[in-house]
Amino acid sequence: MVLKQKVQGHVEELSHHIRASFGTAGSRLSLAGIFGTIFGRKRSSHSGLMKRLFELGHSNEQIVNEILALLVGVTVEVSLALTNVVNLLLDSEEHATFRTQAMSADIKDLSGLEAHVIEALRIDPPFAGTSSVAKKDHAISSLAVQQGECLFLDVAGAGMNEQAFPNPTAFDATRSPRERYLQADTASKVIGADIPPKLIVHVLRSILSFDNIRRGPGQSGKLQRFQDSTLKDLRYVYLDEKQFRAPWPTSLVVLYDTPSDA
């Protein structure tokens, strides 16, 4: 009941932000624009999805609930990305530097931390890629694509391309230009490519605020996952508490010190 009460409070707050993003009559912000409103940044981009919902005659309250449901779904993917970033930083020498920067960074300018997150997700993206169907015939260099043909964008493979990312296995948050970083056509398309890294940075700041955060002992501190060729879009499959395979991580225990531990 306590958890339900907290959730209801969060739902009401998010619903308020979504309603506020509608602005005056006739204004139609995109989902990225709604997140811009939540983060205090107004955006003027439009969304075909929201426009279509209004054209179908949905009321403002119906659209608020529909958008809220989409945003809740997006958090699942963002949580997977967050898990990968934490898992990488716990092993990387960059962890100590990132923690210092995370706790001292100006809340109004977190671009440096966002660069760390984007680089971490290049090395360990939440999905292997995304599949789509060609709408028309098209030729790209030596590749000829026919209408109706199913294509797979190998995001994980592209992130390890040496021509785009010299020494691709090395962690380097100063890489540029940003356009070289590819993302699966999933949450980034729904809420905007620049939003997930911002969300992850804010959560990471909370996680890294704990003293001497580290992996749990033995197997508890490991992210139990393996590759499954039958699920092409998923980069890894995970084990749940009953040791059955699952699409989302359920392991990775971390420890931290409290004042009484000192």
Confidence of residue 67 (pLDDT cuts 50, 70, 90): confident
* DSSP 8-class letter at 234: B
* pLDDT for position 157: 92
Q: How high is the pLDDT of residue 34? A: 55
The structure tokens 């707050």 sit at 13
Task: Report pLDDT for 195.
Answer: 77
List, in order, residues 6 or more apart from 242 with CB less than 8 Å away: none
Query: Which range is least confidently modeled, 6-15, 93-102, 109-118?
Result: 93-102
Given a cut of 60, whether residue 43 has pLDDT beyond it is no
CB of 27 closer than 8 Å to CB of 46: no
What's the confidence (pLDDT) of residue 70? 78
Identify whether the C-beta of residue 121 lies closer than 8 Å to the C-beta of residue 84.
yes
Mean predicted confidence (pLDDT) in 243-258: 87
- What pLDDT band is residue 188 in, cutting at 50, 70 and 90? low
Question: Please, what is the average pLDDT of the chain?
Answer: 80
**Mean predicted confidence (pLDDT) in 24-44:** 49
Answer whether residue 64 shows pLDDT above 70: yes
Does the pLDDT at position 23 exceed 60? Answer: no
Nearest to 63 by CA among 38, 27, 89: 27
- Nearest CA among 202, 210, 11 for reference residue 3: 11
Q: What confidence tier does 165 reach under pLDDT thresholds 50, 70, 90?
A: very high
Residue 217 preceded by cis peptide, ω within 30:
no
pLDDT tens digit string along 196-211? 888 888 888 888 888 8
Residues of the chain with CATH 1.10.630.10: 59-261
**Spatial CA neighbour of 197 closest among 211, 176, 183:** 183
Supply the angle between the helices 111-123 and 60-91 in degrees, to the nearest 10: 70
| Tens-digit pLDDT profile for residues 130-150 | 888 989 998 888 889 999 999
Q: Which residues contact 71 (CB under 8 A, 6 or more apart)?
A: 14, 31, 34, 191
Query: Do the beta carbons of residue 251 and residue 222 sit within 8 Å?
Result: yes
User: Is the pLDDT confidence value at 24 over 50?
Assistant: no
What percent of the chain is helix, strand and coil (3-state, nearest 5)? 50, 15, 40
How many whole angstroms separate alpha carbon 252 and alpha carbon 260? 24
CATH number of 59-261: 1.10.630.10
CA 209 to chain centre: 21
Crossing angle for the helix pair 48-55 and 60-91, nearest 10 degrees? 160
Tokens 């296995």 label which residue?
Answer: 169
Average pLDDT over residues 117-129: 90
